[in-house]
Amino acid sequence: MPTALSSRDAHGSCSDPIAHRPDRSTEVLGGRGVPDIKRRVLCHTNVIMTEDLWPALPYESWKDTYATLHMWTQIVGKVALALAPPVNHCWAVALHVTSRGLATRPLPHTGRFFTLEFDFISHRLLIRAADGAERMMRLEPRSVADFYRELMAVLREMALGVKIWSMPVEIAAPIRFEDDTMHAAYDPIFANRFWRILARLNELFTQERCGFVGKCSPAHFFWGSFDFALTRFSGRRAPPPSGPAFARDAYSREVISHGFWPGSGPLLEPALYAYAVPDPPGFKDAKMRPQAAYFHQGLGEFILPYEAVRNAKSPEAEIRAFVESTYEKGADLARWDRAALERRESAAG
């Protein structure tokens, strides 16, 4: 997990004929394959409905699935990047949480619109066009190269063909999608757990920003860095940051961000994070709530370990305390105009 001014937090997501095998992955929705799909996922669906609201997500137990899913989401995200309007801060190409997984926003294509959605309940990638055309690809153990070739072929078959840059971003030692046979793991239990955590955080992050009336991002998923984030803006320009264009765009204004990340590099555990850019004097030394929160010197961010959250008496209260204390302290130290940026009355107006 890089530092606050790195590619992860700058949300760099903004950055051949094949054999068609319907018996393995791709099927037309609503056709003969649907009953078979239901049989395959029935047992798994029954299991996930009985698990706790904040499931365990130990890094070592799902790191191979995590690495593969990261590449799959980058492929889908790059399709969005190729087609979506260039909204500031890469907001148009981030994925958003749905009732079944993660999806793109509607993507324009030669007078049509379509979406791509990871369904982490039935474990399918759903491709749906506004004219009613639908296809699906099974999410199962398969290489990144296989997933990439099939998705590109399916899009061509649906007259939704798109060309993307096939080099992954924001990872060490990237392998082009078409050549990546190394990453091929998929554990549906852990994929589902990850989405369920995001769904809960989506609700909590959105609730926490309701009193903020300044510019604020949605809670959304950045596929380049594989993290879920919500960012508030002071409305003031920030000192010009260095780095690539997407980083300069991301930090052209003062921000305070909160998010969740499954871990990697210097922190091999899932965690919530918070940071401010620019970093106001005294921020990193401030005491934040809850007690388990701490400032990670290597990352330059406040961290709240996910295990501390899920084992707390009230995980929701722990998350709220973390978001509120880091925002309030950061905004006060940076002298944000909180009276103008916040709605004090309890009722929406």
Q: Which of 157, 188, 219 is the last residue of a domain?
A: 188
In a domain, 70, yes or no: yes
Separation of alpha carbons 160 and 152, rounded Å: 9
Please state the rounded mean pLDDT for residues 303-312.
Answer: 98
Question: Per-residue pLDDT tens for 66-77?
Answer: 999 999 999 999
Same domain, 124 and 201: no
In a domain, 10, yes or no: no
Same domain, 162 and 233: no
Question: Per-residue pLDDT tens for 278-289?
Answer: 999 999 999 999
Least confident of 120-129, 167-176, 338-347: 338-347
Please state the rounded mean pLDDT for residues 37-44.
Answer: 42
In a domain, 110, yes or no: yes
Same domain, 106 and 200: no
Same domain, 174 and 200: no
In a domain, 117, yes or no: yes
Same domain, 211 and 332: yes
Same domain, 167 and 60: yes
Q: Which of 126, 155, 188 is the last residue of a domain?
A: 188
Same domain, 154 and 300: no
Same domain, 180 and 217: no
**Category of 89 on φ-ψ map: left (φ > 0), alpha (ψ -120 to 50) or beta:** left
Quote the domain boundaries for residue 80. Answer: 16-188
Same domain, 35 and 163: yes
Same domain, 177 and 322: no
Q: Which of 154, 172, 188 is the last residue of a domain?
A: 188
Question: Per-residue pLDDT tens for 88-108?
Answer: 889 999 999 999 999 999 999
In a domain, 219, yes or no: yes
In a domain, 29, yes or no: yes
Q: How many domains does the chain have?
A: 2
Alpha-carbon dihedral sign for residues 102, 8, 78, 169? negative
Same domain, 84 and 227: no
In a domain, 120, yes or no: yes
The pTM of the full predicted model, rounded to 2 decimals, is 0.87
Same domain, 128 and 34: yes
Residues 109-146 as b or e (16 or more Cβ within 10 Å = b): beeeebbbbbbbbbbbbbbbbeeebbbbbbbeebbbbb
